[in-house]
Amino acid sequence: MSRTALVLTGATGFLGGSLGAQWLQTGPDALLCLSRNDPNGDRSRASLQAAAQGFGAALPDAAWARVQVLDSVPALLAHLAGFDRFVVWHCAADMRYDMAHLSACFETNVGFSTRLFEALAPRPGFERFYHVSTAYTAGFDNLTPAEVLHCRPRLINAYQFSKWSAEMSLSTLAKATGRALTLVRPSIVVGHETTGWHGQSNFGLHGFLRGIRRFARLASTPLSLDIDPGACSNYIPINRVVDTGLALLRADLSQPAPLGADPEIYHLVGQLCFSNAELAQKISALLSFPVRIAASQTRLDRKFNELILDNQAFASHTWRFEQSALPRRLAGAFAPFEMNDQTLGVLLAHS
């Protein structure tokens, strides 16, 4: 009988842990977690358990027998000898924005990604390499991005630069080796839409909401946010990302890609919903604290806007991402997402 393994990087992170935990619920032959800073595997296993509980169902005891945490690529290669086929979900990333960290981000997000692909590509049984990128590799001069490689985007931070570079590098390698590559591009990933679990993520909406809560405890005046009131941010819950990822995985395992095929590119994004002005009103109502879109009025306002400076440019632009490849590939298994008052309330309550 054919034995299939899922190779997972980033199992200690929000997305990687969530994907691995839900994959284990479906009963694969093995989950091979490549984790360079987890010598005894405790961090990876704790992350998988926390993600399973965050999704509403703890992992059964039998699942742990299928988990192997490996600390190096050579160890992974040796372990793969026991499997007939394998797929890779590469979720590990350096998510720092500051350009002072560009060299380190590039080493992790480009260097390690390409070395991993190069090491695995010659192995028999290689089915597909899923690389988690970001929808914002389109840059700031293209606010209606298609699901294609972007040749000359205007990028502003180390994370964007390194993720765009990784897409280009991996696509070149996939062409050269004939191996199947999927570029998965989520927008702003938020917590679970029904449980609110977000793995203590302090990125995006959750960091923003936590900051407003802290501001409300310190200030007696309204918070003024210096962002475009008409812009809309694009949110996608972690459960939607994981469900889509698993649906892609099942589809690709049942019908492997032909050798030499072009990389698949999928935007994992939500439908546009609340403008910044509407979002501020809804947060004000939910917190019973006034939040408005306006130039800074006080010292605390200025401090808050300085803290969110890395994200201000993103918050003040509206991207309208193409999302045609997923409905074509998954048909009835694809469900679009649009943020609503109920989900926003769940996310706010858990931030």
**323-345 tens-digit pLDDT:** 999 999 998 889 999 999 999 89
Tell me how many degrees the CA angle 122-125-126 measures, rounded to the nearest 5: 60
- Model confidence at 173, pLDDT cuts 50, 70, 90, reads very high
Contact 137, 93 (CB under 8 A): no
Residue 326: per-residue pLDDT: 95
- Confidence label for 199 from pLDDT (cuts 50, 70 and 90): confident
Strands (E), 77-222: 85-90, 126-132, 181-186, 188-190
Q: Amino acid letter at 315? A: A
The mean pLDDT of the chain is 92
Q: Is the pLDDT of residue 6 over 90?
A: yes
Q: What pLDDT is recorded for position 233? A: 94
Cα-based angle 181, 188, 169 (whole degrees, multiple of 5) = 30
DSSP-assigned states of every residue in 15-63 = HHHHHHHHHHHT--SEEEEE-TT-TTSHHHHHHHHHHHHHTT-PPPGGG
- Over pLDDT 90: what percentage of the chain? 75
Angle (CA) 255-259-262 rounded to 5° is 90
**Averaged pLDDT for residues 39-46:** 92
Q: Is the pLDDT of residue 58 over 90?
A: no
pLDDT tens profile 209-264:
888 888 888 888 899 999 999 999 999 999 999 999 999 999 988 877 666 678 99
pLDDT at 209: 86
For residue 189, give the amino acid letter. Answer: V
pLDDT reported for residue 259: 64
* Section 126-132 average pLDDT: 96
- Name the band, by pLDDT with cuts 50, 70 and 90, for residue 114: very high
Q: Average the pLDDT over 297-309 and give the result.
A: 89
- Model confidence at 204: pLDDT above 80: no
pLDDT of 184 reads: 98
Backbone CA torsion sign across 119, 122, 126, 129:
positive
pLDDT at 74 over 90: yes
| Model confidence at 12: pLDDT above 90 | yes
Amino acid at 130: Y
280 contacts 292 by C-beta, under 8 angstroms: yes
151 — pLDDT class (breaks 50, 70, 90): very high
Q: Among candidates 160, 225, 195, which has minimal Cα distance to 349?
A: 195
